[in-house]
Amino acid sequence: MPGFSRGYTLIELMTTLAVVGVLAMIGVPAFTHTVDGQRVGSTSRNLRASLALARHAAISQRYPVLVESIGGNWEAGWVVYIDANSNAVLDDGERELLRQGSALGGVQITPNSPVNSYVRYVATGEAQLTSGAFQAGTFKICHENGRHEVRRLVLSASGRVRSAKDSPGTC
């Protein structure tokens, strides 16, 4: 057929772009909300797994094991190591078991004072401060926008960690 063209008209292209624009306006915020929620959950799971690793290592190695925040800030990450000389410092020759990088974008970790900078497990699997007193505390993990469930990791004196969820809010 002469004069027949196999392209799109300007009206068809504009309609398609309008539909794609509307779908993007609906989909992107929902996707962002989902990603932020996954970041909170992932950080909570990583910290809980690190605490479980430290407890297991303390029991199996029969030495104190520390989970210590990097630079006193849990959001900057943490390191798990065997503290063979019980001085609560990662010294040369002491074995580092895990180093976790900084928290994902917008995630805040707020500990209470007993777990402000470290969690220390002893050979019995109990959590103890370097003074020998029992250690129990709570980490609140949330997103800075406050629109997601707040996750709490609760450390008991026996060394066990349980997780709980709170309604959306800020740390």
The domains of the chain are located at 10-166
Instruction: Give per-residue pLDDT as tens, 120-135.
Output: 999 999 999 999 999 9
Specify the 3-state DSSP secondary structure of 79: strand
Of residues 6 and 5, more confidently modeled: 6
**pLDDT-based confidence at 97, cuts 50/70/90?**
very high
* pTM score of the predicted model: 0.81
- Whether domain 10-166 has CATH 3.55.40.10: the reply is yes
Is residue 78 within 8 Å of 67, Cβ to Cβ?
yes
d(CA 71, CA 118): 11
d(CA 114, CA 129): 8
Per-chain mean pLDDT for the chain: 88
Residue of 145, 159, 112, 124 lying closest to 37 (CA atoms): 145
d(CA 127, CA 150): 24
Tokens of 128: 């103890």
Taking 70 as the threshold, does the pLDDT of residue 3 lie above it?
Answer: no
Mean pLDDT of 159-165: 93
Instruction: Give per-residue pLDDT as tens, 33-78.
Output: 677 788 898 999 999 999 999 999 999 999 999 999 999 899 999 9
